[in-house]
Structure 1
Amino acid sequence: MESIRIDETSPIHADAVQEDFDAEFDAMVASWSAERWLFENGESNEAQECIDALLEARAIKASAEAREQQCLARLEALALESAEAEAPSAHGDSREIAWRSMAAEIAVATRMSDRTVQAMMGRATALVHTLPSVLDALGADRISFGHARVILEHAVGIEPAALDEYQRITLERAEETTPGRLAATAKIAAARLRAESFEERHARAREGRKVTIRDLDGGMSELVQVLPTVYAAAVFDRLTRQAKAVAATGDPRTRDQLRADLAMDLLLTGEPACGEDAPHTPASGIRAEVAILIPAFTLLGESDEPATLLGRGPIDLDTACRLASQAPELVRVLTDPVTGMVINADNYRPTSSLRRYLEQRDRHCGFPVCNRDARYTDIDHTIPWEHGGRTVPGNLACLCRGHHTLKHHGGWTVKQTSPGILEWTSPLGRVVSDAAPPGPRFEPEPPPDPALSSARSIDDLHDADSPAPF
């Protein structure tokens, strides 16, 4: 469906825009085939027809959302244009008053708060005037509004001359992945294209670190800590490892409950709670583990490409180098400086090193719309071990627990078209492939280590959180 544009030089009235939209929407809905909803005979595949109808509805929704952005941007422009023709108000800047008045007008018409409408107008204006290709892609149903918001969020600070390249990079990724996964690409692209270096932006952002509290219902509160990404990821990783250790003792609490309780204990007492029953004792002494990718040319001072916290995004080079200097173990990963293809990886062994290799290759769960960090997934044989599948990288992939179960019991079939790239076929016959994650790409399967073939079970590659092989 083509996106709908508004001629900004012509007058426009909010009621007329709404009436035109309502008429067009009604016409599109009326054009749907009645058979799609009737399912009169048993030979039709009702589930597939419902999915097709859902996709049609989403296409209409995407076009409508693009139209909404154009209307909001034009209404903001009209408010500012009207202020230009008037003398400054005695109550303050006339532009500010006109803008707030228009926001209130829209808020009343849409039954939203004026603060929400103000944010919507600002976002719409930025999208219409600075990211037109993103708006076109939204109107054409190539991306969702969630994708558009991610691209817009990370476009802040990019010079106008670099916006075309930013849109090209992010849209190419957006059309094949989820908004959650797109965020990593957008962060890295923005860090590379901004005139201000990532180091400068990080130094300024770091000054805003803080802890806040917000009251919730039921006698609960939300404690939020804003701190550098590398430390936030390390804190969460340590809490997760401690929670797994506690859960292994038979503690009935959920993983989220354990993380929350352990964080509280550590902040209040400096160590996990210990006592007569001491369910936290197995968690003491666990250290956080994070993976940091530092480009070799950056270390040599020949590139300003930022270091990357695996699965999160760019971090400042000083922190990356300091942590690398203190790391008990380093894994050297050689990549082609032009293509990004991984040429070689050290310490290739069948257990922890193989898992580390797979985590850095896959980055996240191999299901096309899952963004679960690969460090917290199971290692799955694409061709099951009991059916002759080998324990080698070309037959292994990272799957979260839910999608691991779905593969074996949900009617889905999977094949690995190339190392780390999974092609899934749904019970309804829909075929979809997981896109390769941004960053280093791994060459075809390295020569197998004879030790790998001696593994008797996939359990050899799992941590304590992994299930028995299916």
Structure 2
Amino acid sequence: MEIETRTPAEQLRACEALRRTAEARSLDILCELAEHYEVSEDSLIEHLVDRRIQPVVPGPTVSEFLSLELAGLLECTPLQAAAKLYSALRLKYRHPTLHTAVQQLDIEPHRALRAVDKCAHLDASVAERVTTGWLPQQLGLGHTAALNRLDKLVVEADPQRAIERERARRKDLDVSLWGSYDGVTTLSGRLEDLDARYLDASVDRMADVLTAEHPGLSRGQLRAKAMGVLANPAMALGLLQRAAQPALPDSEAPNGCLGPLCGTIQTPLHKLRPRLELAVHIDTNAVGCATGSARIEGAGHITLNLLREYLSDIDVTVQPVIDLATVAPEDQYRPSAALKKVLLLAFPTEMFPFSNRATARFMDFDHTERFRSGRRRQTRLGNLCPFSRRPHRGKTAGVWDVKQHSVGVLTWTSPLKYVYEVSPGGTRLVDTGHDAWRKLDW
């Protein structure tokens, strides 16, 4: 038995060593690309240049278009690619001792990069001193314990900067919805500590109110339901007031009301929801059927059965159906408000390789085939797509070439001649730009 189990155990150790070696090598390769990557000057039009950015001091200047190239190579979003690149540059140029330890496999690359991020606000010399001192201390510690130790060293290295960061952090607040799957959505955010405690108490209070209506739910499920109710303030107040009413007619509560939540809302609770506009995408073959799926804009795909449940106890006003095949082209350069609304619905995400940025009203709706004055019907579905600023610059400069073969199906060619096809179904690499693979010299 020992021989049979030792063999896969050693193979697993070897695979882990290979993974760490590959991750360490990839960090150095990212830095090499940053140092040498530049686009052809011939591809740039007169009023656009390849802006060189210095994301890390000390460190090299980097082409603004490199993050777009890396997004395709790493199969991630341009923002994720830029974050990976900047982390690698910070590790090599701001933390040379830590960088050497990663290359010698003395520390897990992921742990080292987390340490680099935690020191990003420190001066380069201070950051190097902190991680050099932390390196021997983190040996043998778990991931969380090691980073907690680093947090202490960071605060002690520059106490005044730590105070300033705490003040800034209290302004860096955010709440977002993401990850919609199977009819549920993830809620995350950053709140001030006191506000977070009040919210937690309010959620608990509302969960108590909902217990009688949902006797089979766990505490966590009741708290999730409570968050949904608190999103509708009038409805939440109505429930709290109803719960505050005395159970017995001879209650001693003044005016028949318990405490400050005196009942005044008489409207049925389901009518207290705020007005909400939803775009629902349903295949024509599913209309009138008992089964099938629907896509709610911003909430992912759900079954038609769940859609019926969502709409069963609310007032619904159906707007005219938008049929993409009947959307008329326009002659002006900028799309009208009506066409822009159609574009926002037709393209839920930016149409750049591996980008998952949600299409927003501040994105550029650019002509994939350059707009020429005097020609008619150029502003239309099939010749417009949403791009954020950097992909838009890359296309306008001619650094990236893009063609839209049909509505929502684009082919992008990168400066290194990698070719990607982007559609609502995702991104796929269709051409590496080489006739044959060459053996890599590591």
TM bracket, shorter-chain basis: 0.3 to 0.5
Higher helix share: 1
Which structure would you say has the larger RCO, counting Cα contacts within 8 Å and 6 or more residues apart?
2
- TM-score normalized with structure 2 length: 0.43
- TM-score normalized with structure 1 length: 0.40
